[in-house]
Structure 1
Amino acid sequence: MAHRPARGHRCVPHTADVRIEAWAPDREGCVAEAVAALVDTFVDTASATATGSSEFRVPPAHDGDLLVGVLDEVIFRMETEGELPLGTEVHPAADGGLTVRWRTTGTDAVELVGAVPKAVSLHELRFGPAPGGWECAVTLDV
């Protein structure tokens, strides 16, 4: 890839599902970018405003499992509570897990622009240190 900013995300072509890539200087920033990438694949949040906030913890696990745990939580809350993150802060927990804080809005406050993800695929999951920081690539089942 040509020069890219220190932090960001993008959607990349994939045959049947949706594939996202994210990168940041640190592990937690990369997880936050992956959340933004997931949301960007199916809704337009440009005119949405945060109406709530929430926090949750992901228990200690391997880095890939931590990432999947956070992304699965986005899908779960969307399906069960009609809630989507507009902003994400991720912090390491003392026990090796993660603490995630979201500024949220309701699913009724955003415009649907793509296929809604149903699950995070473990196939070809990548997450780890890379030149310049951390990066991940994830396939979302739609």
Structure 2
Amino acid sequence: MSRGHRAVSHIAGIEVEAWADTREECLAEAVRALVETITDVGDAVPDDCVVLVSAEEDDETLLAAVLGEVIRQAEGRRVAVDVSVDERTKTTQGQIEVRLATVTMADHLRTAPMAVAMYGLRFGRTAGAWRAHVNVEVRDT
């Protein structure tokens, strides 16, 4: 299976969907979908990096936490232009490390995300592939 994503604007906000062979790839695709919806990063070169280490109990909580950080970064006028996700090993087994390579936004946001909505949030393995679905609440810009 290939990986990919889509995001659709609707009255209540943004609906993000992502799919991939692995949990890590699917999580990264969800980040890309949200970023592409809120602003145009073009071929910007990152100048900073945010590292999140999470030991969330379930996959849906992990998805909400990572997208929540993307939203917090956008509120501070930073946007993720690249994302990588790795399972940590040895003494930190069971943790996930997410690296968001960020850049200061030159232009304003197309859409101002406020929060990840917990209703309708899904992230898990379905029919042999990882799939994510999340609604993001937005405010008028």
Do the structures match in fold with TM over 0.5? yes
- SS at 1:12 equivalent: strand
Q: Which amino acid aligns with 2:85?
A: V
Q: Which amino acid aligns with 1:84?
A: V
- In 2 relative to 1, CA 91–139 (structure 1 residues): closer, same or farther, beyond 3 Å? same
Distance across 2 between alignment mates of 1:12 and 1:131? 23
Q: 2:94 aligned to 88, 93, 96, which one?
A: 96
Aligned residue for 1:9? 5
Unaligned runs of at least 5 residues, structure 1 = none
Aligned to 2:38: 42
Q: 1:17 deviation in Å?
A: 1.2
User: What secondary structure sits across from 2:57 in the alignment?
Assistant: coil
Let me know the Cα RMSD of the aligned residues.
1.8
The answer to whether structure 1 residue 119 and structure 2 residue 115 are counterparts is yes
- SS of the counterpart of 1:61? coil
Q: Which residue of 2 aligns with 1:85?
A: 80
The unaligned stretches of length 5 or more in structure 2 are none
Secondary structure at 1:45's aligned position in 2? coil
Q: How many residues align?
A: 135
